[in-house]
Structure 1
Amino acid sequence: MSEFEERADQLALDIIDTSLVDGEMFRSARRKLLATGAKLLVGPRGTGKTHLMRYTYQHALDKPTAPLVLYASFNRYLNLEPLLKRSPDALKRFHSWVLAKLILSCFQWLEDKGENSAWFAALDPLYDSAKLSGLISLLERGGGDDIYQEFGQFLTVDLVLKAARALASRFSRSRTVFLLDDAALSLSDQYLVSFFEIFRLLKTQYISPKASVYPGTTQYGPTFHASHEAESVPLWLSIEDSEYSQIMGEIAEKRLTKKEVETINRDILEVFKYASFGIPRTFLRLLREYFDSRPGTSQQKINKIIEQQASLIGAEYDSLGLKIRQFSSLVSMGRRLFDKAVIDISAGQSEDTSTRNIVLGIRQDSGQNPLAERMLRFLIEVGMLFPLQAVSHGPNRKYDRYIPHIAFLYQHGAFREGRGSSLKVLPQVMQRPAAKHPVRRDLNSLLGAETVENLHLDLPPCQNCGAERLNDSQRFCHNCGQELVAASLFEECMKLPLEQVPGISKALIQRIQADTNLRTIGHVYASQNASGDLQQANYVGPVRASGIISKVSVMVNEFLS
């Protein structure tokens, strides 16, 4: 099969230009990105936020009537997270890192447009692309003390505004749009607060910042009120959208070869459309796995691929408990709620041959509180629950509605009729009329009244003696007196053993451990010659070593994204 890249941040601009599908949701989001005012592009990973931003950037580049559109990605922000432990001025350095990226986006715009940047660099000594790039690179590697002191600390928001105004004036653009990709700095609250303070300051009469964020873990801090200061633009295609099958089909046509589109069975393609649950990146991954799968019946291959997909999503969700430890209990309880909902909906749908009823309704007054709402948002965060508009079924009977991920419903037999499975059943069910009422539950029936009442945050213990904290405002350990600091998520990721990297067999792990000193992700990540070190293991050559390094990189990127 042809090789195609699933992640939009790895695609060339010319491929970005030809591979975006044309559905009303995407057209509306593009209009919002180019419009005035601050916007937050909201969706789980893989819904197309980066793709849409880069497409918008590319199309505005050579269109004189469009605003000046500048693009910057902040996907490596967590590389700076260890600074919070080591440097008293970590937030100032992070602030400079963000501003350096924004100014550098001006140089990138000039380069992409084929314009000379000498005139721009002459406007201010701080508009130095080499120093800006050096500052960014060194800060991301944990260094940069000298260049920060000599250069980085003098970067300001005013310099960014000045740069945007200069570019807009030079090229006769009436206003400027900043596209701030991967702005959901969810795993470092302190940086997130600082970032959205910059976001707020960028918003002026002639400058409109737009940021892509996640629906569950993004916290905006005390100075940024998301509902008042920016309009939320959802970017997640509902499987109940009238254009759903058509849009997902266009994605396949644009990213696969003509031969692959012609050879894949239509029923199989429809199953994967719905099993991807409106996530284009997942859809492409399912197709890749199908084309790469070993011989077997179509049903066997599909069942295995969907089972693996559900396992991956579940593992990503469970990892939230490690990444944001103060919410680990909520993450655990959310998984229990989700599993119970999937069982209940699957049982009902498998018996219903006339309608489609895959919607869960949770009664609003059934023990809901900020903790319960946050628990549900984590499920939305990784794409396990799709939120729908709330409905009322009488006085004091209002229900929030959600669709559980189709892959999990499929696994639990929601689309099985009779004794066996058929490729046609899932698409056929999705074409049936929707049931009048959702599967109605309350939190107590899904989790138990005692569990709902005892939902709580988890406070990290003392790093020195392991004593549990007494409250969330505690600064020093009551047992040993040690100052309490947050553990570096980056360092925790680096400590993960290679056994936890998906796709590396136990036998291969055993050979690596027997013949090399590589034990953790950090060992591979930090090795100057990781391929050479891995090849010291028996039966590990260049190709297999490259595969291991790729799997480690994917896990690091997913863990820190």
Structure 2
Amino acid sequence: MTTGFYYRTEDIRADKVLYLFVGSQIDREIVNLFKSPVPTVLEGSRGTGKSFLMAVARIELENSFSELKILPVYVAFRGSSLVHTSDPLQFRHWMLTKVIREVLKELRKKGLIVSSYACSLLSDNTNQDQTRLETKLEQIIDNYEKSYQNPGNTVNIINIPDISDVRDAFEDICITLGLERISLFFDEAAHVFRPEQQRQFFTLFRDFRSPYISCNAAVYPGVTHYGSFFEITHDATFKRIERDILEAGYLDFMWEIFQKQADEPVKIAFEKQRSLFNTLAFSASGNPRILFKTLSKSNKVNTSEVESVVRNYYRADIWSEHTKLGEKYIGHKALIDWGRNFIETHILTAIHNKNQWQIKEGKEELTVYFWIHKDVPEMVKEALRLLCYTGIIRKIDDGVRNSHSKIGSRYEIKYGCILSLAPNPQSYSEVLGRNLDIRRFNEFGATHPAYQSLPQQNLQEVQDEEIAIIVRMQLQQSIDVLDITDWQKEKLKGVGVTTIESLLSLDEEYLINNIHQVGAVRARTMKNAATAELLEYLSG
């Protein structure tokens, strides 16, 4: 079976992105929004393709730069978990510095030189040319991102400008260089359990508003805090990336993205057994990363192998990421564990039993949906939000009336989680896929007995001191916890990289010079992919 699927956008070379893009109507709408002057916030759980659609928009803008004169600039905030200084506005200062640095880098790539006036604004009105300014910004960023080694230390922020000066500088850059605008792409902008960072980010997102700057951000469902100064309905266009398994073109879309990446023998094998592919595609509930992971685990293309993958992945593997949240954030552990137990013991069992009864009675309406009363305890809602973040469930809509005309929210649970309970997932899928009905759902009222076991705790925002301790603990873990290939782990261990901290401490040149039989490009790709996964892991 092929192991060549791309799980992460960071692994994909820029010249392959447009080829791999399969533009459904919703995906095309999102890409066009990203390219427009309209501030856009895209929400989706991990693996749904937020970063990939950003990459498509950036590359399309890049390819049309000579015509449109729009400068696309990518800014990743995954390193935020490493920032631990005594500066109360450390995140704002760090990300503002990163934005300036990335804009200057993109301009330099195009051979465009910033005016001395803009340089003075971007260096807090000190006289620096573009080269010295970039060097100074690099030093500030590096000091912030190494601050986890000595939490509480200070970083010299004397050269970090005010946001109004940054806006003025970007306006000057656009006017003097003949640019239409600068388009900023903020990936992984809002991390779980860091509400204060999120609020600072969205305040900055709003403050960047200018005819010469457009902002785009990718966020996670359920755990994003916008703050009191940012109103999502007024300050941006909000979109969700959702691929509904009930849509007529769903299977065709998933088949096309599979064909773009699969080896020819695998394509032929699944073409002959299309129903097996359909089972894995439905099971992923629209998540390309999960589809590729389960395809990679199918060493043979036959019914028993696919059924084994469904049972193993959706009974165990899919829960590991959710459980890790509790291992990393002890204050939330009890609630995270309760949420898992609630889904496995009550939701999944109720849906499975209902479907089996419907099938036995010869009725066609089957479900992967459930309904939660709007007045359930807040801790239940928080547990469900965390389950949305990890993608095990998806909130479809609010204000839905149940069979007794009560109002609540409707959710979808991963199709594969339902299949995994069946003794014959493949045959069950062929019945379930044909008869899904979103109007049919199991109902959980405001006083369901399961709520009696809710943990007695008040969730509080995780403080920087607590995050610093957590990060130190995570850095000591083996690289085996990272979601990278076994080949990457083997090569890293071969040069003495065994812990997360040891990987973080090495630069690309070390790996290029010390990994035998691997060229510079491949070593750099491996380092970048591993580091991206590392920082996502640390971020929650």
Q: Quick one: structure 1 residues 109 and 180, their matched pair in 2 at CA, closer, same or farther if it must change by over 3 Å?
A: same
Could you say which residue in structure 2 is the equivalent of 1:480?
none
1:336-376 CA-partner distances (Å, limit 9, x unpaired)? 221110111112223433434224332424x4243332221
Range with bigger deviation, 278-287 or 50-59: 278-287
Q: Separation in 2 of the partners of 1:213 and 1:370?
A: 22
For the residue of structure 2 that corresponds to 1:488, the secondary structure is: helix
| Counterpart AA for 1:412 | L
Work out the CA distance in 2 between the residues paired with 1:121 and 1:357.
Answer: 66
Matched, 1:357 2:366: yes
Aligned to 1:194, the other structure's residue is in SS state: helix
| Residue number among 231, 240, 246 corresponding to 1:234 in the alignment | 240
Give the secondary structure class of the aligned counterpart of 1:224.
coil
Q: Which residue of structure 2 aligns with residue 371 of structure 1?
A: 379
Residues 442-490 of structure 1 deviation map (CA, whole Å, 9 limit, x = unaligned): 2533614x335x6532569xxxxxxxxxxx9xx9xxxxxxx98655331
Q: Secondary structure at the match of 2:258?
A: helix
Equivalent residue in structure 1 for 2:444, among 441, 444, 453: 441
Match of 1:451 in 2: 453
Structure 1 residues 124, 526: CA separation in 2 closer, same or farther (over 3 Å shift)? closer
Contact 2:112/2:177, CA 8 A, preserved across alignment:
no
Aligned mate of 1:118, from 101, 105, 113: 113
Give the unaligned 5+ runs of structure 1: 461-471, 476-482, 536-540
CA, structure 1 residues 236+242, in 2 after alignment: closer, same or farther (shift >3 Å)? Answer: same
**2-structure distance, mates of 1:156, 1:370:** 39
1:216 alignment partner in structure 2? 222
Secondary structure of the corresponding residue to residue 355 of structure 1: coil
- More divergent stretch after superposition (348-357 vs 496-505): 496-505
Alignment deviations for residues 118-150 of structure 1 (CA, whole Å, 9 cap, x no partner): 34577415443333334323421228999953x
| Contact 2:369 2:438 (C-alpha < 8 Å) held by counterparts | no
Q: Name the counterpart of 1:105.
A: 102
1:198 corresponds to = 204
In structure 2, what is the equivalent of residue 246 of structure 1?
252
Instruction: Give the conservation status (yes or no) of the 8 Å contact 1:363–1:397.
Output: no
Aligned-pair CA distance for 1:289: 2.3
Q: Quote how far apart the aligned CAs of 1:556 are.
A: 5.9
8 Å CA contact 1:74–1:181 kept in 2: the answer is yes
1:359-410 deviation per Cα after TM superposition (whole angstroms, max 9, x unaligned): 4332424x42433322211111111112222422467412311111122111
AA of the residue aligned to 2:52: H
After TM superposition, give the deviation of residue 77 of structure 1 in Å.
1.3
Alignment length, in residue pairs?
A: 503
Q: Does 1:560 align with 2:539?
A: yes
1:288 to 2:296 alignment = yes
Residue of structure 1 equivalent to 2:126: none
How far residue 312 of structure 1 moved from its aligned partner, in angstroms, is 2.6
Q: Could you tell which deviates more after superposition, 98-107 or 403-412?
A: 98-107
SS in 2 for 1:387: strand
After superposition, what is the alpha-carbon deviation per residue over 1:253-282, rounded to whole angstroms, capped at 9, x for unaligned?
A: 212234432232312211211122211111
8 Å contact from structure 1 (residues 181, 211) kept in 2: yes
Amino acid at match of 1:329: A
Q: Quote the residue 2:127 is aligned against.
A: none
Structure-2 change in CA distance of 1:325 and 1:229 (3 Å): farther
3-state DSSP of counterpart to 2:202: helix
Instruction: State the shift of 1:549 in Å.
Output: 13
Corresponding residue to 2:92 among 91, 95, 104: 95
2:244 aligned with 1:263: no
> Are residues 199 and 393 of structure 1, via their aligned partners in 2, closer, same or farther at CA, if it must alter by over 3 Å?
same
Residue 319 of structure 2, aligned match among 311, 314, 317: 314
- Code of the residue aligned with 1:39 in structure 2: it is T
Matches of 2:499 and 2:238 in 1, distance apart? 39
Residues in 2 aligned to 1:422 and 1:334: alpha-carbon distance in whole angstroms: 25
Instruction: Indicate how the Cα distance of structure 1 residues 3 and 485 shifts in structure 2: closer, same or farther if over 3 A, else same.
Output: closer
* 8 A contact 1:135–1:147 mirrored in 2: no
Change (3 A) 1:171 1:302: farther
Aligned to 1:347: 353
Q: Secondary structure at the match of 2:190?
A: coil
Find 1:181's aligned residue among 179, 187, 192: 187
Structure 1 pair 502/78, CA: closer, same or farther in 2 (3 Å)? closer
CA shift in 2, pair 1:455/1:231, >3 Å: farther
What is the CA–CA distance in structure 1 between the aligned matches of 2:102 and 2:506, rounded to whole Å?
A: 31
- Distance in 2 (CA, whole Å) between partners of 1:237 and 1:152 is 47
- For residues 162 and 421 of structure 2, what CA distance do their matches in structure 1 show? 54
Rounded Cα–Cα distance in structure 2 between residues aligned with 1:121 and 1:289: 56
Other-structure match for 1:432: 435
2:79 is aligned to: 76
Q: From the superposition, tell whether residues 121 and 23 of structure 1 become closer, same or farther in structure 2 (CA, over 3 Å).
A: farther
Change in CA separation of 1:356 and 1:169 when aligned onto 2, cut-off 3 Å: farther
Structure 2 letter corresponding to 1:22: G
Give the 3-state SS of the residue equivalent to 1:193 in structure 2: helix
| 1:326, distance to aligned residue in structure 2 (A) | 3.6
Quick check: 2:482–2:533 contact (8 Å CA) kept in 1? no
Residues 145-164 of structure 1: pairs in structure 2 closer than 5 A:
148-149=155-156, 153-164=159-170
Using a 3 Å threshold, how does the CA distance of structure 1 residues 337 and 433 change in structure 2: closer, same or farther? closer
Distance 1:117 1:542, change over 3 A: closer
**In the alignment, residue 433 of structure 2 is paired with which amino acid?**
M
* Contact 1:349 1:358 survives alignment (8 Å): yes
Equivalent pair of 2:311/2:421 in contact (CA under 8 Å): no
Structure 1 Cα separation of the partners of residues 255 and 485 of structure 2: 32
Task: Pick one of 393, 417, 420 that aligns with 1:408.
Answer: 417
Task: Look up the match of 1:303.
Answer: 308
- Which position in structure 1 is the counterpart of 2:171? 165
**Which residue of structure 2 lines up, in the alignment, with residue 331 of structure 1?**
336
* TM-fit CA distance, 1:524: 6.4
8 Å CA contact 1:329–1:458 kept in 2: the answer is no
Q: Deviations over 1:507-530 (max 9, x none)?
A: x9xxx9xxxx9996546655899x
Cα distance in 1 for residues equivalent to 2:293 and 2:332: 29
Q: Deviations over 1:298-342 (max 9, x none)?
A: 413542355135423211112222444443332222112211101
Mapped partners of 1:422, 1:492: distance in 2: 39
Distance 1:278 1:285 in 2: 13
Compute the RMSD of aligned alpha carbons.
4.1
Percent identity between matched residues is 17
**Structure 1 residues 389 and 168: alpha-carbon distance in aligned structure 2, compared to 1, 3 A threshold:** same
Q: Which amino acid aligns with 2:343?
A: F
Distance (whole Å) between structure 2 residues aligned to residue 277 and residue 352 of structure 1: 22
- Code of the residue aligned with 2:77 in structure 1: it is F
State whether residues 392 and 413 of structure 2, in contact with CA within 8 Å, keep that contact through their aligned partners in structure 1: yes
Query: What amino acid sits opposite 2:86 in the alignment?
Result: P
Kept after mapping to 1: 8 A contact 2:45/2:389 = yes
Q: CA deviation at 1:23?
A: 0.7
Instruction: For residue 51 of structure 1, report the CA deviation from its aligned partner.
Output: 0.6
Q: Distance in 2 between matches of 1:40 and 1:22?
A: 19
Does the residue aligned with 1:179 lie in a helix, a strand or coil?
strand
Deviations 1:199-241 (A, max 9, x none): 1211234433221111122223343343443332101312222
Q: Which has the higher contact order (CA 8 A, sep 6+)?
A: 2
Letter of the 1:124 counterpart: C
- Structure 2 counterpart of 1:492: 473
Structure 2 residue matching 1:347: 3-state secondary structure: helix
